[in-house]
Amino acid sequence: MTYRVAGPLAPVVGCHCRMCRQQTGHFLASTSVERADLTIMGSEHVRWYASSETARRGFCGTCGSVLFWENASSRIAIAMGGFDGPTGVTWDKHIFVADKGDYYGIEDGVPAYAVRRPAPSAE
């Protein structure tokens, strides 16, 4: 399975919510694109599951890699670890830091929010 992104990538968001930490083993660093700008080749290998009443997550059914997160918006989040090369995007914010693990700190100077992110700037 591979994917191609045709449009601009949003700045990176680090989500520290319980669901993202359980799925990834730490926290999820992701960007997002308009759904129409994402082409998935081999989409039959992507497995989706509803992680909540409002969102679902996609992972590779062959290797288990965390890939996508989506809700009812026009955008889809893509895990940064899935890109093969440089992306040119930078950190924007950390969200749900009130739920983060107790074994690490957030000391990178990027804005951090206890719960949801404020109104999106590029999403």
Cα→Cα distances 83→8, 37, 89, Å: 14, 15, 12
- Please tell me the distance from the alpha carbon of residue 20 to that of residue 43, in angstroms, as a whole number: 22
At 102 the three-state DSSP class reads coil
Q: pLDDT of the chain along its 123 residues, tens only?
A: 999 999 899 999 999 999 999 999 999 999 999 999 999 999 999 999 998 888 899 999 999 999 999 988 889 999 999 999 899 999 999 999 999 999 999 999 999 999 875 655 544
- Please tell me the distance from the alpha carbon of residue 49 to that of residue 76, in angstroms, as a whole number: 15
Tokens standing for residue 64: 């288990």
Pairing type for strands 28-34 and 75-79 reads antiparallel
CATH superfamily of 2-99: glutathione-dependent formaldehyde- activating enzyme (gfa) (3.90.1590.10)
Map out the domains of the chain as residue ranges: 2-99
pTM (whole model) above 0.85: yes
